[in-house]
Amino acid sequence: MTIEAEAEAARLKSEADEPGWEVDPDDEWGVAVIETVGRQLKLRREAAGMRAAEFGSAVGYGEGMVRKIEGGKRIPRQDYLNTADEVLRAGGLIAATWEDVKKVRYPKRVRELGKLEAQAVEIALYECHIIAGLLQTPEHARAVIGAAQPPYSPDDVERMVGARLARQSVFERSPAPALSFVLEEGVLRRPIGGTMVWRQQLERLLEVGRLHNVVLQVMPMNCDTHSGLDGRIELLKFPDGTAVGRSDGAFSGRPTSEPKHLRILELRYGTIRAQALSPRESLAFIGQLLGET
């Protein structure tokens, strides 16, 4: 085997073994999407009279990977779909499947949260340990996720960062939803990712905090106690008048739509907002931190 062939074989093996592109068997929708895409790829390949090994060489992947993708056992990369579209002369139909495939790359829980946030007319969120995911820059998100122990693989980190950033499309909606955030001062003093990453994150907070549909507040450290000490609180309200909420310190941390539970969460969140700095004071405080960084 030549040096070039060995290098190619090593690349194909590493990509085949790379974590993060497996299909979650508990994700019924994800499994259905990947099985459908795989079936279409196989039908088109066979219609073109190509064997799996021949097709794999044409798209730059091994025969084993081709069979896994066609069998719905592996999530195809975008470059795989684009190249397959060209090889099979599909006129963009195969490449277009990436719009559904890329959603499967996001964990089911994150997809469900993103779907709810995309429908909500009001989003209220208190975070006590991190900058809320909806407010994170890509670099900050990468630093936070990359700090986990045991560490995620680089591929999984990028997958999770992508999922987090995809949720931020909520800021592009029209009509814009009403967004409210309360962050802890202590979190804002922790320069995660280093000086430059942290400066960008503070700048992002100032940018978002000035939007007409956003209220951003800071809970000062000199507030000796408040109703958010048990953990994060999130409330989502929808156009039909329904709502869903969740709190780390209530109802086992599970989402709830029970009216009596929602009243408790609304009371806690309202108390937190009353104890936090005003929106104007909060932006001034973040600006001061930025100046000190």
Taking residues 80-86, report their average pLDDT: 93
Whether pLDDT at 4 is above 90: no
| Dihedral, CA of residue 270, residue 272, residue 275 and residue 280, to nearest 10 | -80
The residue with greater pLDDT, 81 or 255, is 81
In whole angstroms, give the CA distance from residue 64 to residue 13.
Answer: 9
pTM of this prediction exceeds 0.85:
no
pLDDT in tens, 22-39: 766 767 777 888 899 999
pLDDT for position 106? 61
Taking residues 47-76, report their average pLDDT: 91
Quick check: bond before 175 cis, omega within 30?
yes
Report the DSSP pairing between strands 233-237 and 243-247.
antiparallel
CB proximity list for 167: less than 8 A, separation 6 or greater: 110, 113, 114, 117, 133, 134
For tokens 């967004």, name the residue. Answer: 179
pLDDT for position 199? 96
For tokens 């999984």, name the residue. Answer: 156
Task: Report the share of the chain in percent with pLDDT over 90.
Answer: 55
What's the mean per-residue pLDDT of the chain? 85
Taking residues 229-241, report their average pLDDT: 88
